[in-house]
Amino acid sequence: MEKYRANLLMCAGTGCVASGTPKVKDALQEELEKQGLADEVKIVLTGCNGFCAEGPVMLVYPEEIFYQKLTVAEVPKLVEEHFLKGRPYEKLMFKDPEKRAAIPLMNDIPFFKHQVLRVLRNKGLIDPDSLDEYIARDGYMAAGKALTEMTPEDIIQTIKDAGIRGRGGAGFPTGLKWEFASKSVADQKFMLCNGDEGDPGAFMDRSVMESDPHSVIEGMLIGAKAIGASKGVIYVRAEYPLAVARLETAIKLCRENGLLGENILGSGFNFDLEIYLGAGAFVCGEETALMRSIEGKRGMPRPRPPFPAHKGLWDKPSVLNNVETLAQIAPTILNGAEWYKSLGTEKSTGTKVFALTGDIKNVGLVEVPMGTPLKTIIYDIGGGMTNKKKKFKSVQMGGPSGGCIPEDHIDIPVTYEDIVKTGAIMGSGGMVVMDEDTCMVSTAKFFLEFTADESCGKCTPCRVGTRVMLDMLTDITEGRGQEGDIEKLEDLSRDIISTSLCGLGQTAPNPVLSTIRYFKHEYEAHIKDHWCEAGICSDLCSFHISEELCKGCGACLRACPQEAIVGEKKKAHRIIQELCIQCRSCYDTCKFASIEVKPAIRKEKPVSAVKEGGDK
């Protein structure tokens, strides 16, 4: 094997590719050749590094120096400084937000410092298309152990002792699921993987499939041995073309090297895998719906029992595990249950991957021990709000099935139990951070739009109920809300939750309930005062310029598409309300926070009309 002086691990995840990795890579390769360094420095394209906000990113081994926001223009300078002169190039390093000092080493950067990588153990370190590199990081050692040294009972006991719970949302104990399927007697069983990441705001499954596809395959192989399955299917979203391509390569390599197929590793165990492309239906996250989809039907859930562990795909015993769950099986088998339990809390063991997004500075994927305070994730790892002047308002967890956690509760440790207490759920780990400019009624409406659209239509309460709730929320955000609407929404929520068949309907009202619970005053202000304090619902707000704060810089005047702002230079400006369309341009432009949001001015109804017996 050739030896290189330096390895450049360039992130080729979807995020960095969109930010320009391919162009930078070409430029870098060209520059290295020009300088005669191509034999000494090797570029490796890796899967998602996780620090998507700073892409394209690159890690230089052996020093472990982290470069971010690479551009083609900076490449010659970078090569000259770092690889010719041996001086790491400060300009492209991560800067400490307060001291503005460059932080050269990846593990010193706060975003990485607090993380513990188990699921993401190989992220950004190996070439996902290389089986050798996976094996070099102890890959398939656990599969070897499980297949040749362990009985199915041993495997299941280890997973049960470790306390691994499904990372897809509900947190059902994985070992128990395997045990049920293992005890079912049938001529054929299936081991399935759910890579149909439908939860908007979560992308850890995509990242794992893209950066470390073998970790999923190895997990499935061990699971297959535990339950006695000879066939497996990975169900992946068609919207994830890179993940599909990487999985296809990985499966092919496994077949060629005897890790899939017949008599794997000489153990006499047979298992083969195929990929099935999902066609886009959120409800297919529900296991019975997903299995129907693989059967080529409409993905509609069916009542349980019979549980899939007895009658699943093609009516054969089946186990469906989430990508993240499967990715942590191999290290657990290798290191034992005690190792796994050494992190986390009593009931929520191990680590969890979160997708940090929204109005947060360090957007990306983070893996932390269960029980880490939410605050640590948002402020220490996430770096706080993107816009330092804006206050934190809430963090949404669990997507359309979850809820919003307000500031008073962000000291809670992230465990399945503690999150449920707040009205949200762990879900697949999406954390969408929202600052004070977010309207919580609109946010609830956004999720209802999603669930009303994605309801498969089987159960009337879910199909019709979510639509009715959405109509009510639309009315509230457009100024037609009525006294008693909040109570009606709560009643309807309870009915939908108690009478829907599957998780989609049972959780669809959660975003509404949790926002009513913590932000009831916002609903009331929308309904009674026609006031959206965040200035998002354009029918329920008006914008005004504070005379004290306005510096007369004219930025808002230039930004206004309606020419509704008047004022002389260096004097306080004014908004002509008749012309204003509440587009927020001035609000977003003003650097001095001089734009104030006040209740709506009812333009179409002059005062006299109201006196003459208008509706209100």
Partner 1 sequence: MADDIKILVVDDEPVIIRSCESVLRSEGYNIEGVLGGKEAILKMEQTPYDLVFTDLKMPEVDGITLIKWIRQNRPDTGIVVITGYPSQDTIKDALEAGIIDYVPKPFTPAVLLDVTERSVQWIKGKAAVEEEKKEEEFPPSMRQEIDRVIKEYRNKPGSSIPVLQRCQAIVGYLPPVVQKRVAKGLNMSPAEIHSIVTFYSYFTMKPRGDHNVRVCLGTACYVKRVEEVLEKFKSTLKIDVGEVTEDKKFSIETVRCLGACGLAPVIVVDEETYGAMTPKKVQGVLEEYA
Which residues contact partner 1 by CB under 8 A? 14-15, 17-19, 52-53, 55, 197-203, 206, 237-241, 276-282, 293-299, 314, 355, 357-359, 363-365, 396, 399, 430, 432-434, 438, 443, 446-447, 450, 454, 456
CA distance 478 to 367: 40
Cβ 450 to partner 1 shortest distance, Å: 7
Cβ 276 to partner 1 shortest distance, Å: 7
CB-nearer residue toward partner 1: 173 or 200: 200
CA distance 370 to 341: 10
> Rounded to 5 degrees, what are φ and ψ at 352?
-140, 140
Cβ 215 to partner 1 shortest distance, Å: 18
CA distance 336 to 349: 13
Cβ 147 to partner 1 shortest distance, Å: 28
DSSP string, 539-584: GG-EEEE-TTT-----HHHHH-TT--EE--TTS--EE-TTT-----
Q: What angle do CA 592, 597, 602 make, to 5 degrees?
A: 145
CB-nearer residue toward partner 1: 55 or 383: 55
CA distance 477 to 536: 9
Cβ 229 to partner 1 shortest distance, Å: 17
CB-nearer residue toward partner 1: 78 or 202: 202
Q: In Å, what is the CA distance from 601 to each residue of 480, 523, 531, 541?
A: 15, 18, 10, 7
CB-nearer residue toward partner 1: 348 or 438: 438
CA distance 243 to 370: 27
Cβ 426 to partner 1 shortest distance, Å: 16
Cβ 440 to partner 1 shortest distance, Å: 12
CB-nearer residue toward partner 1: 202 or 486: 202
Which structure tokens are listed for 292? Answer: 């129907």
> Rounded to 5 degrees, what are φ and ψ at 403?
-150, 180
Which structure tokens are listed for 308? Answer: 């899939």
Using DSSP bridges, classify how beta strands 595-598 and 542-545 pair: parallel, antiparallel or unpaired: antiparallel
CB-nearer residue toward partner 1: 330 or 434: 434
Cβ 398 to partner 1 shortest distance, Å: 10
CB-nearer residue toward partner 1: 555 or 572: 555
CA distance 488 to 469: 9
CB-nearer residue toward partner 1: 62 or 561: 561
Q: Where are the alpha helices (DSSP H) in 109-185?
A: 110-113, 131-136, 141-148, 152-162, 174-183
